[in-house]
Amino acid sequence: STILAIESSCDDTSAAVVRDGRVLSNVTASQGVHVEYGGVVPEYASRAHQRNIVPTVEVALRRAGVSGADVDAVAFTRGPGLIGSLMVGVSFAKAFALARNIPLIEVDHMQAHVLAHFAEEPKPEFPFLCLTVSGGHTQLVVVRSALEQEIIGRTIDDAAGEAFDKSGKLLGLPYPAGPEIDKLAALGRPELDFAQPDPGGLDFSFSGLKTSILYTLQRKAREEEDYVRNHLHDICASIQDAIISTLLRKLIAASEQTGLQRIALAGGVSANRELRQRLETTGTERGWQTFVPRLEYCTDNAAMIGVTATFKYEQGIFVGQDVAPAARL
Ligand code: ATP
Ligand code: FE
C-alpha cells in the first residue's frame, strides 16, 4: 500500500508518503510566527496550514518519487489538537480522497506518537511500555498491539513539555523553551531543589513546578542581584532534573507494575538529551530493552501518521467523507 499522510494538529504542517510501512518521504513546514508570541496562536496556525498544505504535499510526493495516481489511501490526524489546524488537514485529505476515489484513514495523534517507533528499525516487539512526553500530553501507555493501546498513567495538569515551556517562560527564554533548557542545562548542575507534588499511582503533576520555581527565584533574588542571569545554567539543570526524575520514577513504577521490560520513549520531549541518557542508564541497570526514535520522528511528523495508517489499511479500517476533526479524543 502507498499511503499519503497528513499531520496538522498543532503548528507544523507535515506530509509523508509511506509504502508498505516504509517511510519514503517525510516533509515538515514549521511556523516561525509563534515565537514572538511565546506560544502557538491558534488563529495564525490554521492560516499557515492553509498556505503550507499543498506545497508540503507536493514536496512529499516528489521526494518519494510518487505521483498522486500511485496513492492507495490518504491518512490524516483527526485529533487531538487545535480544531482550526486539524480542519485544514482533514479537509485536504477528504478532497484528495474524493478526487482520486481512494479510502480515507483517520489517525489518533497520540497513538501515532507511540507508533513512530515503527517508522524504522529497531522496532519494539509487542507488548511494550511507552512513555509519551509531548507538548500537550504525558502518558504511560501499555502497547499490546499497534491499535490496542491502554493508558495506565497520565498527567492531571500540565504536560512535561508544557512544564519545560512554562518554566522557560519564567526565565525569559524563547518559545518553545524545552530545547533551550536542554542546551543551557548541559553547562550547569542541578543544585536547586524544586518541589514536585506527586498525585500518586502512575499519574503525573507538573503544575506545582512553576510555582516552586517562581518562589525559589524570588527568594534567591532577594539574596543576590541578577540571580537568574548569573545562575541560568544551574537553574535550567535543576528544572530539567526535576522533570526527568519524576518521569523516570513513574516509568520504573509502571515497568514494575506491568512486568514490561521493553520500554519506549515518544513525543517531542524525548528529544531531550539528558532524558535519553538517563533512560539508557536506568535501562542498563534494570535490564530493559529501550527504544528512542530518531528526532525527526519524536516531534510532530506525518510519517508516524502514515505508519499508523498502514496498520489500519491492513485491517481495512477506513472512514467516510462525513468524518470531522476532534480537538479531544
Ligand atoms: P501533543 O502531541 O501532545 O499534541 P505537540 O505535538 O505540540 O503536543 P511535540 O511536538 O511532540 O508536542 O513536542 C513539543 C514539546 O517538546 C514542546 O513542549 C518542547 O518544548 C518540547 N521539547 C522539544 N525538544 C525538547 C528538548 N530537547 N528538551 C525538552 N523538551 C523539548
Ligand atoms: Fe504531537
Q: Which residues of the chain have pLDDT under 50?
A: none
* Amino acid type, 234: D
136 annotated to a ligand binding site: yes
Of ligand 1's atoms, which has the minimum distance to the CA of residue 176?
20
Nearest CA to ligand 1 atom 2: 134
Q: How far is the CA of 289 from the centre of ligand 1 (A)?
A: 24
pLDDT in tens, 278-292: 999 999 999 999 999
Residue 165 marked in a binding site: yes
In this structure, which residue's CA is closest to atom 12 in ligand 1?
A: 135
Within the chain, where are the H helices?
Answer: 42-64, 83-100, 109-115, 160-170, 177-185, 207-223, 227-230, 232-258, 273-286, 295-298, 302-314
pLDDT at residue 161, rounded to an integer: 97
What per-residue confidence (pLDDT) applies to 208? 93
- Is 5 a pocket residue for ligand 1 (Cβ < 6 Å)? no
Q: Is the CB of 179 under 6 A from ligand 1?
A: yes
Q: Is the CB of 267 under 6 A from ligand 1?
A: yes
The amino acid sitting at 108 is D
What is the structure's pLDDT at 223? Answer: 94
Say how many CA atoms lie within 13 Å of 32 toward its Cβ. Answer: 0
Would you state the pLDDT for residue 329?
A: 84
Q: Which amino acid is at 53?
A: I
**Rounded Cα gap, residues 265 and 43, in angstroms:** 31
Centroid of ligand 1 to alpha carbon of 100 (angstroms):
35
Report d(CA 317, CA 11) in Å as an integer. Answer: 27
Q: Would you say 101 and 94 are in contact if contact means Cβ atoms under 8 Å apart?
A: no
The C-alpha cell at 303 is: 510519517
Do the Cβ atoms of 134 and 113 come closer than 8 Å? yes
The answer to whether 60 touches 96, Cβ cutoff 8 Å, is no
DSSP code at position 101: T
Q: Is 25 in the pocket of ligand 1 (CB under 6 A)?
A: no
Taking CA atoms only, the protein residue closest to ligand 1 atom 5 is 135
Provide the pLDDT for residue 37: 73
3-state secondary structure of 254: helix
Amino acid at 102: I
Instruction: Please tell me the predicted confidence (pLDDT) of residue 196.
Output: 83
Distance CA 305, CA 310 (A): 9
Q: List pLDDT tens digits, range 152-167.
A: 999 999 999 999 999 9
Q: List CB-based neighbours of ion ligand 2 within 5 Å.
A: 134, 300
Consult the annotation and say whether 134 binds a ligand.
yes
177-185 and 232-258 helices, crossing angle to 10°: 100
For the CA of 167, the nearest ligand: 1
pTM (2 decimals)? Answer: 0.95
Is 56 marked as a binding-site residue?
no
> How far is ligand 2, taken at its centre, from the CA of residue 136, in Å?
7
Question: Which residues are 12's β-sheet partners?
Answer: 30
DSSP-assigned letter for residue 306: H
Q: How many CB atoms lie within 10 A of CB 3?
A: 28
Q: Is the CB of 134 under 6 A from ligand 1?
A: yes
Q: Which atom of ligand 1 is nearest to the CA of 136?
A: 3
Q: For residue 40, give the ligand 1 atom closest to its CA.
A: 7
Contact 10 CB / ligand 1 (< 6 Å): yes
Tell me whether residue 34 is annotated as binding.
no
Specify the pLDDT at position 106.
98
Spatial contact of 279 and 265, defined as CB atoms under 8 Å apart: yes
Pocket test for ligand 1, best of 299, 301, 308 (most atoms within 8 A of CB): 299
Beta strands 128-133 and 104-108, pairing class? unpaired
Q: Is the CB of 176 under 6 A from ligand 1?
A: yes
DSSP calls for 118-179: GSSSSPPPSSEEEEEE-SS-EEEEEEEETTEEEEEEEBSS--HHHHHHHHHHHTTPPSSHHH
> What residues contact 28, with CB distance under 8 A and at least 6 apart?
12, 13, 14, 56, 300, 301, 302
